[in-house]
Amino acid sequence: MQQNLEYILAIYETGSIRKAAERLHITQPALSIALRKAEESLGSPLFDRGCHPLELTPAGKICLDGIYQMRRIEQNMKAAVRDLSELNTGSLRIGGTQYFISYILPPVIRRYMQLYPEVELQLSEADSPLNIKKLLDHQLDLMLSTREYDPGEFEVCPVSQSTLFLSVPRDLARESGVLPWGLAREEVLSGAYLSRETLPDPSRLAGLPFILLPPESGLRKRSMRFFENAGFSPKTVLCVEQLVTAYHLSCCQIGAAFAPDSLICRNAGADVVYLKLDPSIAVCRFHIVTRKNHYLSNAAQKFIALCQEELSR
C-alpha cells in the first residue's frame, strides 16, 4: 500500500502516468496496473483520465490529503527520534525582520551560541510575508513577529512586548505646536513617560511629513489606525521597507516615523522628540511563530525558552 501511495503522488506531481513511470524507473504498464489496483482497493477512481495533465477526482483529493498527512507524521517521527539521539546537535533556522535580527535577537543569539555551540544557527533577515512563506515551505523552523496569525495554521508563543512612540524631528514638532508634549529619550528609557499625557489633539500632526512602511506591513496597519483615530490622512514623504530605516530617516530630520523603545534606546544624539501614543496603538507584543502540528526540535524549544527568559527582563 505504501508503494502505491508513492505511485499516486508521483502521478499527481507529474500530471502523467508516463512521466511518473520515468521518475519511478518502472514501466508505464506496471504503473497503470498499480494505479488500477489502488483505485479498486479504495473503491473509486483517483484521476480524471480525460484531462491532460491528469487531474484528481474528489476521491483523489481526499487520498492526496491523506498521503501528505502520513508523510508529515513520518517526518515528525523521524525528527523526534533523531533529535532524541543527537541531543543538542543539529541546526536551527530563524526568521525575522531587520529590526528583530539586528536589535532584538543579538543578546539571545550570543547566549544561545555559548550554551549550545554544536547547534548551527541560520538567520533569515526578510520582511514578514517572505518569512511566513519560508516557514510554510519548511525553509524556517521559527520566526519572530508582532503580527496576528491564524491559530489553525500556526502556533504562536508570546515572548515580550515593546512600546511604540512617534518620533518627530524637533523643528517639525515646534512648527506643528506639539513640542510641549514631546518626550526626551531619557524619559522614554526611564519610564517617566508613563506619567505623561498623550497628545490631546492628534490632528495637530496632520501637516507633518510621515515616513511609513509598505501597506502589507503590520506596523503600517497599526499606523493607519492611528491616523484614522486622529481624523486625517497622512502626508507620506517616504515609504521604506524596514522599521529601522524609517526611524533613522526620522533622526535625520526627514519626517515623523513610528519607533519602538528598543530602537530609541540605541540612538542618543538624534534631535527628535517622542510623542506618547494611546496604548491601543502603542503596545507591540513579540511572539515566536512556528508551524501548527509540526515537531519542534530540542534546539528550537531551547531557543524559545531562552527568548522568553532574556527578552522578558
Mean pLDDT of the chain: 89
Question: Which residues, other chains included, contact 27 with Cβ-Cβ below 8 Å and sequence gap of 6+?
Answer: 21
Chain centre distance of CA 105: 14
* Alpha-carbon Rg for the chain in angstroms: 26
Question: All 3 cell numbers of residue 55?
Answer: 487531474
Task: Give pLDDT, residue 86.
Answer: 57
pLDDT higher than threshold 60 for residue 88: no
User: What is residue 253's DSSP assignment?
Assistant: T
Task: Give pLDDT, residue 305.
Answer: 93
Cα 69–74–79 angle (5° rounding)? 125
Same CATH fold assignment for domains 2-83 and 161-284: no
Task: Give pLDDT, residue 89.
Answer: 62
Residue bearing the bigger pLDDT, 82 or 134: 134
Q: What is the CATH number of domain 161-284?
A: 3.40.190.10
Q: What tens digit of pLDDT does each residue of 122-158 get? A: 999 988 888 999 998 889 999 999 888 888 889 999 9
Q: What tens digit of pLDDT does each residue of 235-283 get? A: 999 999 999 999 999 999 999 999 999 889 877 778 999 999 999 899 9
User: How far lies 158's CA from each of 143, 145, 288, 306, 310, in Å?
Assistant: 12, 10, 6, 12, 13
Q: What is the CATH number of domain 2-83?
A: 1.10.10.10
**Mean pLDDT, rounded, for 173-196:** 93
What homologous superfamily does CATH list for 88-159+286-311?
Answer: Periplasmic binding protein-like II (3.40.190.10)
Q: What's the CA gap between 219 and 243, in Å, rounded?
A: 8
Biggest CA pair distance of the chain = 83
Domain boundaries, the chain: 2-83, 88-159+286-311, 161-284
Q: Is 168 helix (H, G, I), strand (E, B) or coil?
A: strand
